[in-house]
């Protein structure tokens, strides 16, 4: 099993600058058009790191490379407009426990309201509210190309259009966890050139601009409740192996390092996780998953010390699923949640 967050495990924030369009196909589309994700999936980022490692270490032993990868995990690389001197995931998307107005007035905040501020479905200004969708906004472009024959002549009726992420005006930021020696050997250092996504001969170039250490900061559950926001998809199952919208108590307890913890309320949307196995040249299994920026409110013992970031909440964590940030639920939010539990 992968080494859990400890004094022997480093956690770093990696900043990337793209110098070309990124083809990050979602697997959906027709033969003519292909859609692209608006972020770099964790498996795509780690795949690019492995590709660079293989190129710089010809004849590397596969067993050694596999042992390195079993110790390392990564979050998605999210797009941040204009770069970020101090990155915060709140810049990436509106979490699902926020309630923006459907038809906002000039007095309504663009980031919406807290869930406990609109118990009757209307904001203080009288507008109807709806749950945020957790959508990550990023600039995209459509690129059309034509197929060429063996003599490099255009083939009739062979036009192909692909959507691409144009991240050149901002930065891509992700978090990576693993032993320091493994991260250094994989070449995650400033100046490293990576090839992300598809069509790597003409697209996908990105360079590492900085690698910043993240501290193993902890938080304290002051009122006995935590807010856990997913940063990557979450894959959860119930006792019978069927998809579940929330992690089981055992999963929460394992990830937080507590003996008693359970989800008491959730704000989620369904999605899927899949991908393509380059090594086997076959699609990865596609599982139902909770999308990033879904939020779980978790009940824990009062005063419990918990990590500010976890990377193993649920299944498929080796592929980047299960990253989440954790913070104590205090003030009006904790009171509102306590009142809901009493009423139930």
Q: What is the pLDDT of residue 298?
A: 94
Percent of the chain at pLDDT above 70?
91
* pLDDT tens column, 298-340: 999 988 888 888 989 999 988 889 999 999 987 788 888 877 7
Confidence label for 341 from pLDDT (cuts 50, 70 and 90): low
What tens digit of pLDDT does each residue of 108-137 get? 888 889 898 888 889 888 889 999 998 888
pLDDT of residue 85: 59
Residue 330 Ramachandran class (φ > 0 left, ψ -120 to 50 alpha, else beta): beta
Report residue 143's pLDDT band, with 50, 70 and 90 as the boundaries: confident
Residue 103: φ, ψ to 5°: -130, 80
pLDDT at residue 64 in the model: 84
Q: Grade residue 267 by pLDDT with cuts at 50, 70 and 90.
A: very high
Q: What is the mean pLDDT of residues 27-56?
A: 78
Query: For residue range 199-224, what is the model confidence (pLDDT) as tens digits?
Result: 787 788 999 999 888 876 677 888 88
pLDDT band, residue 1 (cuts 50/70/90): very low
According to the 3-state scheme, what is the secondary structure of the chain?
CCCCCCCCCEEEEEEEEECCCEECEEEEECCCEEEECCCECHHHHHHHHHHHHHHHCCCCCHHHHHHHHCCCEECCEEEEECCCCCCCHHHCCCCCCEECECCCCCCCCCCCEEHHHCCCCECCCCCEECCCCCCCCCCEEEEEEEEECCCCCEEEEEEEEEEEECCCCEEEEEEEEECHHHHHHCCCCCCCEEECCECCCCCCEEEEEEEEECCCCEEECCCCEEEEEECCCEECECCCCCECCCCCHHHHHHHHCCCCCEEEEEECCEEEECCEECCCCEECCCEEEECCCCEEEEECCCCCEEECEECCCCECHHHCCCCEEEEECCHHHHHHHHHHHHHC
> How confident is the model over 240-261, as a mean pLDDT?
93
Return the pLDDT at 8.
55
The answer to whether residue 342 scores a pLDDT higher than 70 is: no
Q: What does the pLDDT average to over 158-164?
A: 79
Cα dist from 299 to 10, 245, 266, 311, 323, whole Å: 28, 17, 12, 19, 19
**pLDDT at residue number 95:** 92
Give the mean model confidence (pLDDT) for residues 163-185.
88
């Amino acid at each position: 099993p992968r080494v859990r967050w400890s004094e022997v495990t480093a956690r770093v924030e990696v900043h990337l600058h793209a110098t070309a369009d990124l083809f990050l196909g979602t697997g959906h589309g027709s033969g003519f058009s292909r859609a692209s994700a608006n972020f770099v999936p964790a498996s795509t980022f780690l795949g690019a790191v492995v590709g660079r490692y293989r190129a710089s270490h010809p004849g590397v032993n596969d067993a050694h490379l596999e042992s390195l990868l079993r110790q390392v995990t990564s979050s998605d690389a999210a797009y941040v407009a204009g770069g970020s001197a101090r990155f915060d995931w709140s810049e990436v998307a509106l979490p699902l426990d926020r309630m923006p107005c459907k038809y906002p007035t000039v007095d309504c905040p663009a980031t919406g309201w807290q869930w406990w501020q609109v118990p009757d479905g209307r904001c203080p200004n009288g507008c109807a509210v709806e749950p945020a969708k957790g959508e990550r906004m990023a600039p995209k472009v459509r690129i059309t190309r034509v197929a060429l024959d063996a003599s490099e002549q255009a083939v009739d009726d062979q036009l192909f259009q692909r959507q691409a992420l144009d991240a050149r005006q901002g930065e891509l930021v992700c978090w990576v966890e693993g032993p320091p020696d493994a991260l250094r050997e994989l070449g995650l250092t400033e100046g490293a050139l990576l090839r992300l996504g598809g069509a790597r001969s003409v697209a996908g170039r990105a360079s590492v601009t900085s690698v910043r250490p993240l501290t193993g900061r902890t938080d304290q559950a002051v009122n006995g409740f935590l807010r856990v926001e997913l940063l990557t998809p979450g894959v959860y199952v119930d006792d019978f192996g069927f998809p579940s919208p929330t992690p089981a108590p055992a999963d929460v307890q394992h990830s937080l390092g507590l003996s008693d913890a359970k989800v008491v309320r959730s704000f989620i949307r369904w999605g899927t996780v899949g991908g393509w196995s380059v090594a086997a040249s076959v699609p990865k299994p596609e599982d139902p998953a909770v999308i990033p920026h879904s939020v779980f409110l978790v009940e824990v013992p009062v005063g419990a010390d918990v990590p500010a970031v976890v990377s193993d909440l649920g299944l498929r964590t080796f592929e980047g699923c299960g990253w989440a940030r954790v913070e104590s639920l205090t003030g009006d939010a904790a009171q509102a949640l306590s009142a809901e539990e009493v009423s139930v």
